Amino acid sequence: MAKKGPRAKIKLVSPDGDDVYYSEKNSRNTTEKLKLKKYNKKKKKHEIYTEGKMSK
């Protein structure tokens, strides 16, 4: 059975689109697209990842 509540799974995509992180956010409190600073393993530096579309 699926979880109940406002938490949604999101995909965080790097600026050039070559790296991806998966996370969750509370869609009631955060209605706009999420932006987080994460580490890009391929470039070996921190970048700002933005919320992208989840593919099913």
- Per-residue confidence (pLDDT) for residue 2, from 0 to 100: 66
- In this predicted model, what pLDDT tens digit does every residue of 2-56 receive, in sequence order? 677 889 999 999 999 999 999 999 999 999 999 999 999 999 999 999 999 987 6
- Residue 7's identity, in one-letter code, is R
Is 34 in contact with 50 (CB distance < 8 Å)? yes
Is 5 in contact with 22 (CB distance < 8 Å)? no
CA distance 14 to 3: 28
- Residue 17's identity, in one-letter code, is G
